[in-house]
Amino acid sequence: MNRRRFVQLTAALGAPAILRGAAEPDSLFETMRKQHAVPAVAGAIVTVDGIRDSGCAGVRKAGGATPVTTTDLWHLGSMTKAMTATLLGTFVQQGRLKWEASLGDLLPDLLTKATPEAKRITLWQLLTHRSGLPANRGQWGAMPLAGSRAEIVRAECAKPLLSEPGSTFLYSNVGYMTAGVIAERLGGSLWEEQITKRVFEPLKMEAGFGGTGTPGKEDQPWPHNKEGKPMPNNGPAMDNPPSLGPAGTCHARLAEYAKFAADHLRGAAGGKALLTPALYRELHEPVPSCGYAGGWHVAERPWADGKVLTHAGSNTMNYFVAWLAPAKGFGVIAACNQGGEHAAAACDGVCSALIAQYRKSL
């Protein structure tokens, strides 16, 4: 999600007042689905205990007849970034890593030909998009596999940076992939295994990687382009390349992602969570110049009694968004099996309505 999209999204969620009188959650979702002409939309209210209420409307594939369900798998896109930041937090908690550690110290063997500027990049600069690394590689397809991440880091760090480390906000998938390589080196296995072992399993959370469903079958939400046209196929391969994993290839059911969101809500409140309260404070503390923290955009909203943690994710064929209000102990999430602005607007509408619904229930 780029800076322009974040500004649009935060403006849209400034005053949640849509569908205050909606009697049934599913009528809310069908209204948003029709209004924005998307194949399906789903969403949920999350508290410190996990998912509270959820609903959905629409079909898994445009032109098909199979309805989506609240237990379907939804692609999370860049929601994965906060998960990767949390994964790195587990190493910080063990005393094996510091946020201000530099790439030159963390990955010396990969940076033998790196520029002096690249060697100075810190882990926290990677996680807050201030590394100077590019948004994406020119050709992901040249090294698509998860096992090629280290070579991508070697190649990208040998190039001139786009800005001095720490000086400029530049949303960077390459930066988060680099953070994933740090986790791989510390944990001794690929990021997929590390995040499963150190984040998903402790949270009793089921999540997967890549596109969803069985190729050719409408057994999960099918990906659609920004015009709402079904992609030629579905399944694990219908996603960004696996090498991009730490930046955005996870998928999960609403209730499973809610376990991760609930953990951050509990941690922010000082409750029992994966990391210490101090580490959640650090992960949720934005850099003043850009408003970005460890995998979260951070803003202020009256309905949240202050700070909100938010992010959106999209592989251009799906869309997902979350808004968490730590001071209130709740949040909302929404998903769509389409990419683009119509999907974003539908999810924004669902989030606004769910926020209003939750506040009304108090």
Q: Is the pTM of this model over 0.85?
A: yes
Query: Taking CA 188 as the corner, what is the angle to CA 184 and CA 191, rounded to the nearest 5 degrees?
Result: 30
Length, in residues, of the chain = 362
Residue 284, C-beta contacts closer than 8 angstroms, at least 6 positions apart: 264, 268, 293, 294, 296, 298, 307, 309, 326
pLDDT bucket at 2, cuts 50 / 70 / 90: very low
Kindly report, residue by residue over 27-60, the tens digit of the pLDDT: 899 999 999 999 999 999 999 999 999 999 999 9
Domain ranges of the chain: 3-75+224-230+248-361, 83-197
The 10 Å Cβ neighbour count of residue 287 is 17
Q: With contact defined as beta carbons under 8 Å apart, do 120 and 100 qualify?
A: no
Average pLDDT of the segment spanning 141-154 = 88
The pair of structure tokens assigned to 223 is 């990906």
C-alpha radius of gyration, the chain, whole number? 19
| Domain 83-197, architecture per CATH | 3-Layer(aba) Sandwich (3.40)
Residue-level pLDDT at 1: 46
Same fold, 3-75+224-230+248-361 and 83-197: yes
pLDDT bucket at 362, cuts 50 / 70 / 90: confident
pLDDT bucket at 26, cuts 50 / 70 / 90: low
Kindly report, residue by residue over 104-120, the tens digit of the pLDDT: 999 999 999 999 999 99
Residue 7 has pLDDT above 60, yes or no: no
Instruction: Decide yes or no: CATH 3.40.710.10 for domain 3-75+224-230+248-361.
Output: yes
Q: With contact defined as beta carbons under 8 Å apart, do 254 and 42 qualify?
A: yes
